[in-house]
Structures are given as C-alpha cells and as structure tokens.
C-alpha cells in the first residue's frame, strides 16, 4: 500500500515538474505565434516574390529564382537609395541637436513641469502622421508664417520657396520623428545620478567639462537608441518626400510604393524592400558596434 502511494506521489511530482518546465514555453507561445504570422511569413513571402519574373498576364508572376532582380533594382534606383540614407542621416543629426537640450531640460531643469513637458513631447502622436505632414506643408507654404518672416527679414527673395525642396523633406522627417529621439534621451538622462555630476564639480570640473566627460558618456545608450529609432523609419519613409518634395527628392520608399501600386512590379518592389532592410541592418550593426553599446541589439 505504501509502495503504491509512494509511486503515485513520485508520478505526480514528475508531472508537476514537467508542467513547470513547459510553463515558460506556453507563456512564449502567443508571442511566437504572432511573430510567425506577422513577421516570418511576410518575410518569407517577400523573399519569394523578389526572385519571381513576369508571367503570362499583367500582375502575374512565376517563381524562376531570378536573383538578377536585386542587381536590376539597385541599378535603376541607386540615386533614390543613397538619397534616402542621406536625408535620414541629416534628419537624425538635426533631431539629435534639437532633442538633446530639450531632453536635458526636461530631465534636470523642469521641476514640477516635467509631466506637462513630457505630454507635450508625445502630443504629436495624438494626430495622424499624414495630417502632421500636411500641416507642415502649410507651414512651409507660400502663405505660411515661415516664408513671410524670411521675406520680411530679406533672407529670402520674392521668388524663393521652401516646399518641393530637399530642405522641406528633411524638415518634415526631423519634425515627425523628433519624439522618437527625445524620449530615449530623456529616459537615459533621467537615470543619471545627479550626485555624479556634483562630484565632478567637487573635482574642479566646470559645467562644460562635466557635460562632456560625465553627462554625455552616461547618456550614450539613449543617444544610440534615439538615433536608431529615428534613422530606421526615416530611411524608409515616403510620405514626407511625396508631400513636401518634388520628383528630384524622391526616396526609396516612393520607388517601392510606385512599383507596387502603379507599375505593378512586385518582384522589383520586393527586391528593393529587401535591399533596404539588409542595408539598414548592416549599418545598424556597424553603428552599435562602433558606439560600444552592443547590449542594445
């Protein structure tokens, strides 16, 4: 009798232990299913489409494993690809220049206004990305206060304009992705122990030296995270170039959109998308490695 009870207890313990071992996998199951359906399957479909060729009807394609599609895509859209990275780089630099003082002020100087300022930083997210870009088009337009002010100060002539220029596209990218830069910077700066900055002063460092030798190094994780969150979506954006630019300022996102919807060149659009993804991934890995914050990847 006791042997049977012992055997039953051992079996129950083994079953309980097995359930505990499987519990983490059950908790991960929803995320794994989500990633499989909405990430792995689309990526597989994108890779498969990128090597197809034209079939017998318009918009029909067959799998022929034509890897020359990638070289054709690069050759035909090389200018737009480089322009996308150029505009994204400029927008990231401008966003960093604007966001760092803002995040610093909110983290250390805002006092009881901190929460209000944080709400104002994320307030643009309450409005559609498209509407914000259209509003920026109006701000830089002929009747906007920017043009009127520049002409009043004789900085710009009567025939000068800001819309349909590279400046407008970069300005739109900078504005739209500014919160993506500011919030990581604020989070990184806010975690800095103020006593470390005070200790720097005790060691006879002036404010500039303290900022350069203490604040900036400690905030580097926020700088890296902010630049990545700004650069990556900016490189693939097409709304700003479409609404604020001209045919000479088209980015790779505009080319992909046109190939998919207007030209109906699915393999070309897929090939360009993969080229953009791989290029961004390489740049990001190199940047993170160079910045010395490998744990962010």
| pLDDT tens by residue, 45-98 | 999 999 999 877 767 888 899 999 999 999 999 999 999 999 999 999 999 999
Separation of alpha carbons 255 and 241, rounded Å: 11
Separation of alpha carbons 262 and 203, rounded Å: 64
pLDDT over threshold 50, residue 290: yes
Read off the tokens for 269: 């659009």
Separation of alpha carbons 266 and 261, rounded Å: 9
Residue 14: pLDDT band by 50, 70, 90 thresholds?
Answer: low
The residue-averaged pLDDT of 227-249 equals: 92
The structural architecture, per CATH, of the domain 78-296 is Orthogonal Bundle (1.10)
| pLDDT tens by residue, 193-232 | 888 887 887 777 788 888 888 888 989 999 999 999 999 9
Cβ(220)–Cβ(295) below 8 Å:
no
pLDDT of residue 6: 45
Cβ(151)–Cβ(158) below 8 Å:
yes
Cβ(185)–Cβ(103) below 8 Å:
yes
């Amino acid at each position: 009798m006791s042997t049977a009870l012992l055997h039953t207890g051992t079996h129950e313990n083994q079953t309980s232990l097995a359930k505990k071992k499987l519990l983490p996998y059950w908790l991960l199951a929803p995320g794994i299913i989500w990633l499989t359906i909405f990430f792995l399957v689309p990526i597989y479909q994108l890779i498969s489409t990128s090597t197809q060729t034209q079939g017998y009807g318009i918009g029909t394609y067959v799998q022929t494993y034509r890897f020359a599609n990638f070289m054709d895509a690069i050759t035909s859209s090389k200018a737009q690809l480089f322009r996308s990275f150029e505009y994204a780089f400029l927008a990231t630099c401008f966003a960093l220049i604007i966001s760092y003082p803002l995040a610093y002020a909110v983290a250390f100087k805002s006092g009881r206004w901190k929460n209000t300022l944080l709400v104002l930083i994320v307030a643009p997210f309450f409005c559609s990305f498209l509407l914000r870009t259209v509003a920026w088009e109006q701000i830089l337009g002929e009747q906007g206060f920017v043009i009127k002010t520049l002409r009043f100060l004789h900085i710009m002539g009567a025939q000068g304009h800001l819309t349909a220029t590279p400046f407008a596209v970069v300005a739109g990218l900078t504005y739209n992705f500014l919160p993506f830069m500011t919030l990581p910077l604020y989070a990184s700066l806010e975690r800095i122990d103020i006593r470390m900055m005070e200790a720097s002063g005790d060691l006879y460092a002036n404010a500039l030296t303290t900022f350069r030798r203490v604040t900036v190094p400690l905030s580097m994780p926020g700088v890296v995270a902010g630049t990545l969150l700004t650069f990556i979506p900016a490189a693939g954006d097409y709304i700003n170039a479409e609404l604020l630019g001209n045919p000479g300022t088209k980015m790779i996102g505009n080319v992909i959109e046109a190939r998919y919807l207007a030209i109906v060149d699915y393999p070309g659009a897929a090939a360009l998308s993969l080229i953009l993804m791989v290029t961004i991934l390489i740049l990001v890995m190199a940047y993170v490695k160079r910045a010395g914050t490998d744990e962010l990847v």
